[in-house]
Amino acid sequence: MQKVQLIATATFGLEAIVADEVRQLGYDDVQVENGKVTFTADLSAIPRANLWLRTADRVRLKVGEFRATTFDELFEQTKALPWSEWIPEDGAFPVEGKSVKSTLFSVSDCQAIVKKAVVESLKQTYPRTWFEETGPLYKIEVALLKDVATLTIDTSGPGLHKRGYRKLIGPAPLKETLAAAMIILTRWKPDRVLFDPFCGSGTIPIEAALIGQNIAPGMNREFVSEEWPTIPKALWREARAETHDLARYDQKLEIVGTDIDADVLRIARHNAAEAGVDEQIHFQRMAVSELRTKKKYGCLIGNPPYGERISDRRELLRLYRDIKDVMQRLDTWSFYLLTSDESLEKQVGRQATKKRKLYNGNIKVDYYQFFGPKPPRPQAQS
């Protein structure tokens, strides 16, 4: 089967997690760079990567890469690439671009030159002087970094964080891809209780349920490359059938999401139902200070309010005191908190076992990981 080079783009800080996901799909030829994971695979990887990658932003098809410091170099080398292998005669191919630390810094000029070069390339295959672009979408990106131009076509369409279940959102929503990464970093297992005391519109509990039941995050949405004639429909059918075969719908989970806002909890319940995991999550109106449980060795994962989400510093400090009390009460639990507030460790009176720098949109945040004791191993049946 035809080999292709794909790029799974990633938010800064999540590249290693995306790379692990790519390897788990069976693709070993993986290169990790800032903001992207490049891998070589056969054509079936386009549907499989789009359907399964939980933490990547999107999947791009790499058409070519070369050094370009002049517009002539950019034009000629773009023209020489095999565009007609992918773009049909009626294909729509808008061009977007970006340039970082490159001689060719005018993005609009680079876009125009790439567009013209692709047109000239396609003319060599299709006997026409004008392309109406009424067919499937092939969004091209020219990305210049230190004078190296990478030409790609987007295979995803809307970003992979758009799973299709979040029809309603509450204030300051957490991206689904980041929520999934937060859960993956905890090494949480489906046999442990998972608790989100700031669940908002339910993103962390829903992503946990999808992970716990091995439900592909892209199962219930469509992708732009499904319309490409160059990818056989059979590959998409097989990839979607695989998502159903590997899902563990009978896996019981204990996931709890709480919030003090009753309206936002209604949104969370609606979103969980849209995702098909509402029976696996218990949503409840409750303040953090009320959290008590006899369950042991659980995981508390949360995105407590910060910045614009909480206007009163005294209120935030009170919230931290409540979190500190919960951490002391639930002494066998592990706690994972995402915040931009650098005083978190001081306020809860404990140094994090690990701290990871991530980005929530354009906001730099830290993911504080407080590891609890490991659960005892189950006793072997005699």
Per residue in 140-167, pLDDT (tens digit) is 999 999 999 999 999 999 999 999 998 7
Q: Tokens in use for 171?
A: 């204030």
Decide if pLDDT at 382 tops 80: no
> Mean pLDDT, the chain, as a whole number?
94
315 band by pLDDT with thresholds 50, 70 and 90: confident
Let me know: does 193 contact 250? Beta carbons within 8 Å.
no
Cβ contact 283:202 at 8 Å: yes
pLDDT tens, position by position, 36-87: 999 999 999 999 999 999 999 999 999 999 999 999 999 999 999 999 999 9
Amino acid identity at 335:
F
Tokens of 375: 């659960």
What is the pTM (predicted TM-score) of this model?
Answer: 0.94
Query: Residue type for 39, please?
Result: F
Q: Residues 226-261, buried b or exposed e (16+ Cβ, 10 A)?
A: bebebbeeebbeebbebbeeebeeeeebbbbbbbeb
CATH of domain 176-370: 3.40.50.150
168, pLDDT greater than 80: no
pLDDT digits (tens, 9 = 90+) for 267-303: 999 999 999 999 999 999 999 999 999 999 999 999 9
pLDDT of res. 214: 98
CATH number 3.30.2130.30 given to 3-154: yes
Instruction: Write down the pLDDT at residue 166.
Output: 86
pLDDT at 314: 82
* pLDDT tens per residue across span 88-125: 999 999 999 999 999 999 999 999 999 999 999 999 99
pLDDT at residue 378 in the model: 73
| Backbone phi, psi, residue 92, to 5° | -95, 130
What are the angstrom distances between the C-alpha of 357 and each of 49, 143, 147, 368? 25, 25, 28, 9
In angstroms, the CA 305 to CA 340 distance is 9
pLDDT at 379 over 70: no
At residue 380 the predicted structure's pLDDT band, cuts being 50, 70 and 90, is low
Please give the single-letter amino acid code of residue 316. Answer: L
CA–CA gap between residue 58 and residue 295 (Å, rounded) = 38
Domain ranges of the chain: 3-154, 176-370
Closest Cα to residue 25, out of 2, 9, 10, 8?
Answer: 8
Instruction: Give 213-276 as a 3 state SS string.
Output: CCCCCCCCCCCHHHHCCCCCHHHHHHHHHHHHHHCCCCCCCCEEEEECCHHHHHHHHHHHHHHC
pLDDT confidence bin for 313, thresholds 50/70/90: confident
3-state secondary structure the chain: CCEEEEEEECCCCCHHHHHHHHHHCCCCCEEEECCEEEEEEECCHHHHHHHHCCCCCEEEEEEEEEECCCHHHHHHHHHCCCHHHCCCCCCECCEEEEEECCCCCCHHHHHHHHHHHHHHHHHCCCCCCCCCCCCCECCEEEEEECCEEEEEEECCCCCCCCCCCCCCCCCCCCCHHHHHHHHHHCCCCCCCCEEECCCCCCHHHHHHHHHHCCCCCCCCCCCHHHHCCCCCHHHHHHHHHHHHHHCCCCCCCCEEEEECCHHHHHHHHHHHHHHCCHHHEEEEECCHHHCCCCCCCCEEEECCCCHHHCCCHHHHHHHHHHHHHHHHHCCCCEEEEEECCCCHHHHHCCCCCEEEEEEECCEEEEEEEECCCCCCCCCCCC
pLDDT of amino acid 38: 98
Distance (Å, rounded) from C-alpha 77 to C-alpha 73?
Answer: 6
pLDDT tens string 232-263:
999 999 999 999 999 999 999 999 999 999 99
pLDDT-based confidence at 311, cuts 50/70/90?
Answer: low
Q: Which residue has the tokens 């990839």?
A: 239
The size of the chain, in residues, is: 382
Provide the terminal-to-terminal Cα distance of the chain, rounded to the nearest Å. 50
pLDDT surpassing 80 at residue 308: no
Burial of 64 (0-12, 13-18, 19+ CB in 10 A): middle
